Amino acid sequence: MKILIIEDEPSIRDTLRDLLELNDHTVLAAGDGPEGIALAADRPDLILCDIGLPGMDGYEVISALRRLPACQDIPFVFLTARAERDDQRRGMALGADDYITKPFTERDILDSIAARVRRQQPLRDRVEQLLTQRRTEVGANWSHELMTPLNGVLGGLELIEAEADTIEPGELKSLLGLIRAGAERQHTLSKKLVLYFELEGLKAAPPSAGTVRCAAAVSVAAGAAQAAQAERRTADLTVRCDPGHVPGYDAHLTAAVAEVVGNAFHFSPPGQPVTVTGTCQGGRYRIEIVDHGPGMTAEQRANVTAFKQFHRNHSEQQGLGLGLAIARATADLAGGRFFLTPAAPESAGLRATFDLPLLAPA
């Protein structure tokens, strides 16, 4: 931070300068009011100003600064030997943010600075800052995907705790909204994780062949509808499925299709159709989900593994990699395949295919 000191007493000025520089602040120092006002044009982040200055006193300095458009919003803290209430009231009326009484301790100064910085910054920005910090700490591996929504929850709670006594109802509401959104994302993600591990568990100990049958058309239609409703895109969805049975559980195919159809909606703008078909042919049941969005590169398609996530900059796509991993695990478990190809040559869209064995009618 850049801090301007206006103090006529050289020993106090130098002590303050050393203290602030030791704490990584940049210091501008002035010995009287006019010099201080001139330096304030440099837009310091905070001004520490003595009241008892020769000539122009501290009250006159703040009055002058509050009239200058470029300087009127700079946080202003009085340094004063006089802690009388009247002085304080007068200073506050002139727009001072705080008082530090001389003689002061290092803690007094640093606490006052920290408080000014906090108050300057809207809470939402501070949550963002916390999140960025945590993201950096967590790193860019799969745990990122698990941790991100929870960071919003923890960051919001941390701030509410810190500000519990002074928080405005509006700020509180906004923070609670942030916490709820994070919690909901985490809930969705947890459900996906549970499903993914369930599928992995079944791979290790699969049910014996032919014992578990899934009505494909019903499950596919249910999953597609679920995704379209969640994305508010029911008007863009077309589903056309042949009746037929495939190995596996209805709930798993429904969830897998919902993930893939959800991705298709994410990658294509509203108004663009997403088509879901289920076709019986040559002993296979082929489910195809086609969108007209920007699609993926061949490299991205090859990278469809658990926890990988594409277009990471789109935060609303959290959990995408896990969704595709669920689709792949569901297909594997049924003894089939899941793969992604361009919707058509030269097309921006994506075709996701479940190629599954068709079971003989029971």
Tell me the residue number closest to Ca ion, measured at CB. 52
Residue 50 vs 236, nearer CB to Ca ion: 50
Stretch that binds Ca ion, among 46-54, 120-128, 149-157, 272-280 (CB under 5 A): 46-54
Interface with Ca ion: number of residues (CB under 5 A)? 3
User: Quick check: 52 binds Ca ion (CB under 5 A)?
Assistant: yes
Q: Which residue has the tokens 């159709």?
A: 273
In degrees and rounded to multiples of 5, residue 243 shows phi and psi of -70, 150
Shortest distance, CB of residue 89 to Ca ion, whole angstroms? 20
- For 110, other C-beta atoms within 10 Å of its C-beta total 14
Using N-to-C axis directions, what is the helix angle for 250-266 and 169-204, rounded to 10°? 130
Shortest distance, CB of residue 79 to Ca ion, whole angstroms? 8
Q: What is the C-alpha separation between 148 and 186, in angstroms, rounded? A: 8
Q: Write out the binding residues for Ca ion, residues 3-22 only, by CB under 5 A.
A: 8
Q: Fill in the per-residue mask, 324 to 343: x = in contact with Ca ion (CB under 5 A), - = not in contact.
A: --------------------
Long-range contacts of the stretch 109-114 (C-beta < 8 A, 24+): 109/16, 109/19, 109/20, 109/48, 110/19, 110/23, 112/77, 113/1, 113/3, 113/25, 113/46, 113/77
Stretch that binds Ca ion, among 52-60, 90-98, 127-135, 323-331 (CB under 5 A): 52-60
Q: Fill in the per-residue mask, 188 to 227: x = in contact with Ca ion (CB under 5 A), - = not in contact.
A: ----------------------------------------
Residue 61 vs 358, nearer CB to Ca ion: 61
- Full DSSP string of 89-117: HHHHHTT--EEEESS--HHHHHHHHHHHH
Residue 8 vs 231, nearer CB to Ca ion: 8
Instruction: Classify residue 170 as left (phi > 0), alpha (psi -120 to 50) or beta.
Output: alpha
Residue 58 vs 149, nearer CB to Ca ion: 58
Contact pick of 13, 49, 50, 71 for Ca ion (by CB under 5 A): 50
Alpha carbon 256 to its chain centroid, in Å, reads: 25
User: Quick check: 31 binds Ca ion (CB under 5 A)?
Assistant: no
Residues that bind Ca ion (CB under 5 A): 8, 50, 52
